[in-house]
Structure formats: structure tokens, C-alpha cells
Structure 1
Amino acid sequence: MFDNKDKTDISELGEFGLISYLTNAVEIKEASTVKGIGDDAAVLDFSEKATLVSTDLLLEGIHFDLRYVPLKHLGYKAVQVNLSDIYAMNGIASQITFSIGLSSKFPLEAVEEIYEGALIACKKYNVDLVGGDTSASVQGLVISVTSIGTGEKDQVVYRSGAKEGDLLCVSGDLGGAYVGLQLLEREKQIFLENPNIQPDLEGKDYIVERQLKPEARRDVIELFRTYGIRPSAMIDVSDGLASEILHICKASKVGCKLYEEKIPIDPMTYETAREFGLDPTVCALSGGEDYELLFTIPQSQYDQVKNQMDISIIGYITEESAGCEMISKSGHVHSIKAQGWNAFASPDPESE
């Protein structure tokens, strides 16, 4: 963490000086990167593969709260949430651009921390930083990341490929990021009321990390390659399980049966949700920001996934007229409704 006593005003460097300073340590490792930072545009060569491109925008006060989000974690997460979209297409990310808009309240050392987090993510996921931009902002911190990747043309997976009878699967566990957010929000309110009270996050590392430092699931894509698994449809869980299921079903023109008892929820997520008086299943269905992969596979691939510890079969695809339904633990049938993250809703939790 930088020391405010030794902060450096960004105006001392200027825009081009700042870009040069921040990107001085950037290394190019991907063979597909012909030209990275230093010219008017990056030059990439993917030969005969399909090119995948995705962009995400993160806004202070909407997508993150700097009162409890460390800047290094923010840079790391900004990259992760974008890479997740490439993996959701059954591709592998290879490059990103990283752009940032910031107000005069941010010294150079703060911006360094954001970029350091981004570069840590790039190194971990074998991704080149090939460009970006910096600009002044009068509305707080803004981060925009574009990720670029590739997929074999016959292996790219869309949301629209699910067929009746396919198995509905998800990686990892769900709801942890949302419950972690509730914990951080609670501690923020306690701190605002009494700044002398330190945050109490002991024993909650897992769900706090699920919120502050998510991991895109490249490992699941590599698992698909290893075991010959070819999803028929796929999407990442950014807005909650319910929303993502409905996206796949709408795009594929199918229905589904989801079994509540099959939804993977970590014990810490479950217990903490109960402490907050929340239904753990609702947290998984509507919480979002888990960045797991939700996908469908033909029943013929059941043997390839049945023993994968990090993949859960949570239901199956039905004909469109059957609708999208969840079978509760008590055997009741409920329509699946999208109640997850809405980018244009008020950020005030009291208005939700």
C-alpha cells in the first residue's frame, strides 16, 4: 500500500509520461503478439484461428467501492472478469488492453498499484498487455479492459447451442462473491459509524476473496481439452445463476429443469448467508460475480464429467414449451426468474 505522505502528483508526468512509466516493465511473451505497446495500434497474428474479443467497463460507485476494495485487487479483478468472457466461448485469452480514467485525487502510486494487479493477472494467465489509454475523469475511477483471444473455429461455443436432453453443468461453487460482498458492506457500515473499530473478517477469507479477487476459469477450458469435453452452450456466471440459465435457454430456444439440491454452495458461503438471514440458494441464483462457467453437454459426454470434482451436473435441458423451472429441495416447482445484477439499477442498496 502506498504512503500518502510520499505521493507523486500525476501531473508531474503528463499523459504520455504516465503511460511510459506504467508500461515500462511490460513483457511480450505471446507468439501471436507481433507488436505491443509503443505504436498507434497493436499488431496481432492469429493465423487460421477464430478471434474472440470482449470488453468490460468498471465504474467507481457502480461496480466497486474503494472504501474496501484494495487497488491492486481492483486491477487484478478488472482483468479476470474480462478474461472470463473469452473462456466462456471455449477460447484462450492471449492479449488485453487496459484503459483507465482517474481524478486528481489519485497519486501516481495509486495508479501503480492498479496496474501492478493487472500485470499480476496477465502473468498468471499468460496474457500480454498490448495497449490502452489514460485520461482525466471528473466522476471517479473508470477502468476499461478489452480482452482478445482465440479458439479453434470448430470449437468456439455460443450460448445458442443447447439441445433438449443436454445436461446442465456448472464449475466451482456459487454465491460466495455475493455473500462476501454483504460481509464487506456490513464492515464498511460499522467503520463509518465508528472509525476506531477494525473490520472483522477473520475466518472468512474464502468468500472475501471470491468478491475481491475472483479467478477466471481457464483451468476448466484446459480440462475440456484434456477429457474431450465439447460444451454445446456456455456462459460465465457474472450476473447470477438464474440470469445465465435464462440467457442460454433464450438463445437456444429451450427450457430447463434445475435441481436446487444440486447447486454447489461452499459451506462458508452457506453458513455466512444464514448469519445474514439470507437464503443460500437465492445468493447462488441471484448474487453474481462468481465467474464460474455454466455450460451444457450432450448426455453422451456424461462419463467425461461425472468424476470431475470441480464440475456439478445441476439439471438438464427440456423443450422450450416446458419453460425454465427449478425443483426445490422439498420437491416444489418454481419458475426461474432473473433477479441478479442490473447494470442500470440504482447503486443504492436501499432502493433495490
Structure 2
Amino acid sequence: MKTRRFGKTNAMISEIGLGTWQLGTKWGEPFCAEEAQKILDAAYDSGITFLDTADIYNDGNSELAISKILKAHPDHFFVTTKIGRGLNPHTAEGYNKDSVVRFTDGCLSRLGMEKLDLVLLHCPPTSVYQKDEVFDALENLKSAGKIAHYGVSIEKVSEGIAAMEYDISAMEVIFNMFRQKPIEELFPAAQKKDVGIIARVPLASGLLPGKLSKDTVFGKNDHRFYNRNGEAFDKGETFSGVDYESGLTAVSELKALLGTENLIPYALRWILMHEAVSVVIPGASKTAQVLQNVKAAELPDLTPEQMAGVKAIYDKYIRPTVHHLW
């Protein structure tokens, strides 16, 4: 596994990490602690050193599962957790000094850590990215030794630009073959300020691997069923905001371009072709998916022709309806 420097944290982390939203669970299904531990063990065995979680993932069970692997392998993993989405209602007013401290303390307890490696605001309302009280609270937690670094997880490029007015160390952003806008302004700005980039939703909610079809049926608890138009949360989280039918057409052309039916390693390698990216965090609901994901580390760089081809497909099928929104 290759490593990359993680911005101003100066940590060297595996370029492929593990996102734990699906840890021990499939889309919308109950959490399984035993399966979660198998996935984390597979990540360790594969050389993954970067874990991404959040206080709300599986009602805190993702953090609890991670706490066990941290005890088994101290000093191996760099753990990023996210706070704020547990607010109900999820409003800008809910993000304040007291809530930031409360959520951070909860993460420390569940993860069993004395100091959190990195805490991110978890896609809060846009105005929060310019809220001095919130970033002052994070800075105070850093000074108090409860967190080593802090940053943001964003929906929109504009939110990331605003957040970099503060002393953030890292940023998590949706970035994949179907969400290319960050390349233009966000990545250069992050590199200039030495902000590490975590690429999330790298496979566009399962659209990019190439296994879905127009006949695929999604369960009622699967956000790919109930959030196509943003009914429950930002629609950019579901299929990266791409129209499903257009996405299937684009995937077909990507398969032809890259000469494969399995796009997973190519989709991850495409992300890693961008030097601003520190780590990509595909999720896994079973150990086989971890092993599949890490194959991208062994794949040669995509050729200039392949990179140009991916951009052409994006420009034709995705850009007109997606690019301007996020």
C-alpha cells in the first residue's frame, strides 16, 4: 500500500482508506458487529491505515467497533470522525460551543481515545462554515489536547473555500468520475493552504462499479430508493446527484473506454491520479469489498488518453446537470 502526506497534519497515511458508514451493514440493513470486526481486520491486513467514521454511523456502533481494532493495533490507524449530524433539528443554530464539545466528548468515549486524530464538521448548513464560534470551539479543543486536528466535510465547493479561511487541516468532499468540479478551484486552493483532501463517495453510491441496471430494485430503507431527489438529505449524496439513467449510460461508455466490466479499481485509481487527494475512502459491507478496493493500489496510472476519455464522458453525460450544483 502506498502512502501519502495528509496535508498539514504531516501524517503519512495509506492512499486507500476505509469509509465506515456501511461498516457491518448493507444498504439500510441492521448492523452486525461480527462482520464489522472482520472488515476492520481485513483493512489492517491489507495495509490500510486510514479510517473514516462519524458519531452517527450505525448509531455509534461504527466508532465502538473501531475502538476494538485500535486496542488490538495501537498506533496503526489514523482515525477521522465527524460530528454534528446528530442534531435534531439539524440547523445552523445547533452548531455552537456546547454542542461541539458534547459531540467531541462522545466520540472520545466511543473510540476509547485520549485524543482524536481528526474531527470534521459533518456537512452542516452552509452558514456554519463561516461561524466563528464553531471554529473557535474546535481550536479550543485542540489547545486542550482533546483533538489533534480539525476540518470539515462539505457538500459544495463554495463551502470548502469558505472553511479554508480558518485553520483547518483537512477537508472531505465528494469526488469521483461523476463529480469533477473540485478539480477546478477547490483542489488548487487546498494545496496552497496545505489542507489534506479526503475523497468520499468515490463510487457514486454503487453506480460507478458497473453492476447496477435499469432493472435493479433497491430496498425501501436504501437511500438510493428514497432520496433520488433529495427527499431526506442533499441529493448529491445519492448517486453523486447524477440522474440514474444518464449514469448507467455513462458507466457503459466508461466500461468500453477502459476495457473492463469491473470499474472499481479504475474509478479509485482515477481519483488517486489527482495529487491534491490524500486518501480515498470507499466503504465496505463485507471483507471481499475491502480486498477489491485495495486492488486500485496495484493498478498502473491511467494513460493520458484514458483520463481525457473519462473527462469527455463526464462532459457529455454528467456536467450539464451536476457541475453547477455542488
Structure 2 length-normalised TM:
0.27
> Higher helix fraction: Structure 1 or Structure 2?
2
> Higher strand fraction: Structure 1 or Structure 2?
1
Structure 1 length-normalised TM:
0.26
Bigger radius of gyration: 1
